[in-house]
Structure 1
Amino acid sequence: MDTTTEVTIVGAGPYGLSIAAHLRHMNVNFRIIGSPMHTWRTHMPKGMHLKSAGLSATLFDPEHSFTLKQYCRENDIPYEDEGLPISLELFTQYGMEFQRRFAPNLEETKLQSLRKQGDMFELVLDNGSKFLSRKVILAVGIDYFRYLPKPLDGLDQSHYSHSAEHHELEKFRGKEVVVIGSGSSAIDMAVLLHEIKARPILVARRQALNFGQKEGRVRTRLSRLVAPMSGLGPGWKNLFCAAMPGLFRYLPANFRIKVVKEFLGPSGGWFIKPRMKDIPILLGYKLLSATSAQGKAELQFIDVKGEQHSIQVDHVIAATGYKAQVNTISFLNPEIELAIQLVGKTPRLSANFESSVPGLYFAGPSTANTFGPVMRFALGAGFASRTISRHLQRVLRQHPAGGQDMPVPQSIATSQYQR
């Protein structure tokens, strides 16, 4: 083994970096592995804007000294808490600067394997090096959870892709492209393809596209009472989900899963709608099958009237989102995967984000079924980083390195995840 460490963070997006900032402030011995803001830098199309308002598009250091607002102020960049879209480039640049300030020890490498080694974890990196860690936090983000509709399996691999595979769109110039989906990824993709002179068609099962509403800085007292503002938008439900993820965990599991699945729903940003006027849109179309023939992708759809339609295009982009599930995290040893108790297909977690495998923590979208839909957004990194770091500081102080951790009785190890 190369070395041993107290805590290892796997992932360097908003969650991993925010947790690192908190642990560093507490002088906890940790390593952080990953590529900073990787999904944002390489798996989202150039030119897009975040659907989240400025007040929600931030990372979290323990003293709240370096928000997106502060970064914009330092660099003379226009910023508003609400009403001014945040570009992908701005959010990425801010995240990279956050990493340089608060996680300078980041190791830009990839985890290949994670398995138990006694009461510790063995981590193997892509360069073959190994080390042991007492605690591991998986803040891997959404890239492990891409969802592709099953009918697309009938296509040659060159004829379809997930929207996360495209940061550069220039290769589609002049090409006919079907974009499948009704959320912001699909809408943004169709608009950006159109603007680089591709020929997109947006196709969705839903019978209507939804767009968020622009929220101005000035609201009446009545509107603030009826629909108070939160980091997830206006409304009491949004406020509860944003402000009280710890309480959300105590709701019945089936209800939590339902809320997370239905929360907010697919929609585009309010600012994108005017740019869609010249894009063909087919709504209420369900994909039945897909085949490759004569260098084209041929898709069969059925509409709400039961009529079938065939479309031939050069390429299909599935902007069909992500479905968090433990079994798609490829570096997990099967023994660990089987030991993780689940809520739906995601880990059942304690109030401190610890899974049923003692010492293994999760953060980010995979925790939404426990702590609520706020964990699908960067905003959730605030609660997660505070909770996990305080817990680890307390645990590591009670059982310092070189000491012997007390074994956890199985009845206790199980009961804390069922409360």
Structure 2
Amino acid sequence: MCDATVVGAGPYGLSVAAHLRGLGVGYRIIGNPMESWKSKMPKGMLLKSAGFASNLSDPEQAFTLRQFCIEHGIPYDHLNLPIPLETFSAYGVAFQKRWVPDVEDEELVSLIPAPEGFDLSMKSGLSFRTRKVVIATGLTYFRHIPELLSRLPSDRLSHAADVHDLHRFRGQRVAVLGSGASAIDIAVLLNEAQVDVQLISRKPTIMYSGRWGGSGSHPVLRRLALPVSGIGPGWKHRLFADWPWLFRYLPENYRLEMAETFPAPSAGEPMKERAASIPLLVGRSPQEARLSERGIQLRLLSMDGDTQVVETDHIIAATGYKADVRRFPFLGSSIVEQLRLVGKTPRLSANFESSIPGLYFVGQVSTTTFGPVMRFVFGTDFTSRTISRHLASLRPRTWRESPHRSAGQCRSTASTSSVRECLRTLTLNQPREVNR
């Protein structure tokens, strides 16, 4: 019997496991560390988040992105230096090796309620029982592709999360659908790779978020007008970033709206100049997509009612993600039917626990409970500290802490400093200001 199992080894899963390890809670973590960041997202893209808001969370707040960059001689700035995808991916892997060295590269295929917990089965055939489960699979199962595109063959259609090597599109005509950061980044990188690309957006204009440090000659007035937060500049951003525990007390309809629409899609300011030469078709909504002898014919409807047909060889849908608990392939219908929902996501307690005792959800799927910050890496600190303290407090005397063991047995890193670590995390879980 394992005390707790974390499913997923991205920023949220690794941060939760690091805190469980620091508090001496016996745990297992399954997944491929930073897999989506390393092998799915487009090479060359830039994070829209600022440097100070792109840290994974460890119990001592010791291994930040800044510390990683210092150790490896990589340029870094808290606010106004864009972070390459490759830098962040390497940082995440280094974090895993330092704080969560016992990740098991397994894929969960079945999670079934059992006496005192859950039975977990892996694709490899491994199975074990655990008292608590933390689902931290990120965006893996939530890719959204509009229905009108769903009938296109897979060699003609890609989601933005599955176009790691953009050079494979050389010699093709590519249409990128979307208006957010991923759409702009992909279109820019395709254009710079000498691919015939055009960007299509239903929105009438492409928005750029501006530099996190803002502009203007008076820094005090600038910070008053647009205070910096972990998810972007502005008072609303600051509220949602620093007080996620407050979000769950807001009216449900408002929470659903904010989880879906805030912050509005926008590209990072550093991409604005690089995107200037990309052909744009804005204010046009796709209505039909069908194969033809010359590729794909995409019929567009403009805001004034005119139609236009665009021919392309491949479509990249940078159309975001839609969290839906029914899309977790390892959750059986018996579990899904028992979950109380907010929209299509689990209704969670103040400790991220669902209506099924012992089953927790973090990351994108927790946005309707804790707000938009859960779509950002910045949300890992609040999440991991909250869950780890909660699980440590629930640990009964029958949960025996044990040293590291071989694969297939529960891990624990209990030490004589566990109590001190717990007290320290209580004091550290406060909104942090950046030295600007």
Question: TM-score w.r.t. structure 1 length?
Answer: 0.93
* Contact 2:5/2:29, CA 8 A, preserved across alignment: yes
Q: Quick check: 225-234 or 307-316, which moved more?
A: 225-234
* Contact 2:228/2:234, CA 8 A, preserved across alignment: yes
1:322-363: CA deviation from partner (whole Å, max 9, x where unpaired): 001101111111111111111111110000000001000011
1:249 is aligned to 248
SS at structure 1 position matched to 2:326? helix
1:270-289 to 2 correspondences below 5 Å: 270-289=269-288
- State the identity %: 47
SS at structure 1 position matched to 2:13? helix
* Contact 1:153/1:290, CA 8 A, preserved across alignment: no
Q: Which amino acid aligns with 1:153?
A: S
In the alignment, structure 1 residue 135 sits paired with structure 2 residue 99: no
In the alignment, structure 1 residue 321 sits paired with structure 2 residue 324: no
2:348 is aligned to 349
1:14-93 to 2 correspondences below 5 Å: 14-93=11-90
* Contact 1:156/1:292, CA 8 A, preserved across alignment: no
Q: Quick check: 151-160 or 121-130, which moved more?
A: 151-160
* Contact 2:175/2:312, CA 8 A, preserved across alignment: yes
2:121 is aligned to 124
1:264 is aligned to 263
* Contact 2:263/2:372, CA 8 A, preserved across alignment: no
Q: Which amino acid aligns with 1:14?
A: P
* Contact 1:160/1:318, CA 8 A, preserved across alignment: yes
1:223 is aligned to 222
1:195 is aligned to 192
1:171 is aligned to 168
Q: Which amino acid aligns with 1:188?
A: D
2:145 is aligned to 148
SS at structure 2 position matched to 1:358? coil
SS at structure 1 position matched to 2:18? helix
1:194-213 to 2 correspondences below 5 Å: 194-213=191-210
* Contact 2:339/2:346, CA 8 A, preserved across alignment: yes
Going from structure 1 to structure 2, the CA distance change for 1:260 and 1:399 (only over 3 Å counts) comes to: farther
**d(CA) in 2 for partners of 1:154 and 1:143?**
21
**d(CA) in 1 for partners of 2:392 and 2:198?**
52
* Contact 2:212/2:228, CA 8 A, preserved across alignment: no
SS at structure 2 position matched to 1:83? coil
Q: Which amino acid aligns with 1:13?
A: G
CA displacement at 1:131 relative to structure 2: 0.4
**d(CA) in 2 for partners of 1:314 and 1:144?**
26
1:91-102 to 2 correspondences below 5 Å: 91-102=88-99
Q: Which amino acid aligns with 1:208?
A: T
* Contact 1:159/1:292, CA 8 A, preserved across alignment: no
1:407 is aligned to none
Q: Which amino acid aligns with 1:223?
A: R
In the alignment, structure 1 residue 381 sits paired with structure 2 residue 342: no
1:108 is aligned to 105
**d(CA) in 2 for partners of 1:318 and 1:213?**
24
CA displacement at 1:401 relative to structure 2: 5.6
**d(CA) in 1 for partners of 2:378 and 2:213?**
20
Q: How many residues align?
A: 399
1:361 is aligned to 360
CA displacement at 1:75 relative to structure 2: 1.5
SS at structure 1 position matched to 2:119? strand
* Contact 2:213/2:228, CA 8 A, preserved across alignment: no
Task: List runs of 5+ in structure 2 lacking aligned partners.
Answer: 402-436
**d(CA) in 2 for partners of 1:379 and 1:322?**
18
**d(CA) in 2 for partners of 1:29 and 1:216?**
42
Question: TM-score w.r.t. structure 2 length?
Answer: 0.89
**d(CA) in 2 for partners of 1:155 and 1:247?**
43
In the alignment, structure 1 residue 186 sits paired with structure 2 residue 183: yes
1:34-88: CA deviation from partner (whole Å, max 9, x where unpaired): 0111111111100001000101111000110001011111122111001100000
